[in-house]
Amino acid sequence: MSLTATLFWYEVHDPAVVDRATYTLATLGEPTINTGLETVATVRRPPFSLTGTYTYVHSREGVGTGRADIPLTPRHSAGLVGMWEREERGRIGVEAYFTGQQRLEDNPYRSQSEGYVLFGGLVERRFGRVRLFVNAENLGGVRQTRFDPLVRPFQAADGRWTVDAWAPLDGRVINGGMRLSF
């Protein structure tokens, strides 16, 4: 078993920001501060392995009472990946990832995103020097358009007709391929 934890703290002085309502660039008088924790734990018992991750991020910017979380930065995120692997035969893996709520900026539909979970899997089979694989991501079909439209009901001050992406836009993705080793 291995466990790694990282604590972090960043202070960015004189940060440049864009006010999307007026489309003006400004320098803030107070620093942007990012603090958090990232952990990774892995348990291995061949031919199995399990890896879990968790990240906590507290990022704030602004001045005085206008100080708020930095947009599109989830406070909590986590992942879990399980794998069975035999070098001579192949591997099978499953994964799940959680992304927590995020503050949204200049979004006419909501000021805070929804949290969501993504699931996926991988199957790979080895035949000598050839490996065939099928990879599946976002099997639950999570898409931002299932929460709200992407197109804004009116044009933003900066000319955009769409909102920022805060969740997957493409839904399920399944692909396959072949790897050759030399």
Say which CATH number the domain at 126 has: 2.40.170.20
User: Can you give the residue range of the structural domain that contains 101?
Assistant: 2-180
Spatial separation of the C-alpha atoms in residues 167 and 80, rounded to whole Å:
19
Percentage of residues in the chain with pLDDT exceeding 70?
Answer: 100
Structure token digits, residue 172: 């399920």
* pLDDT score of 53: 98
Give the mean model confidence (pLDDT) for residues 69-92: 96
Domains of the chain: total? 1
Is the per-residue pLDDT at 158 higher than 90?
no
pLDDT tens, 117-151? 999 999 999 999 999 999 999 999 999 999 999 99
Residue 52 has pLDDT above 90, yes or no: yes
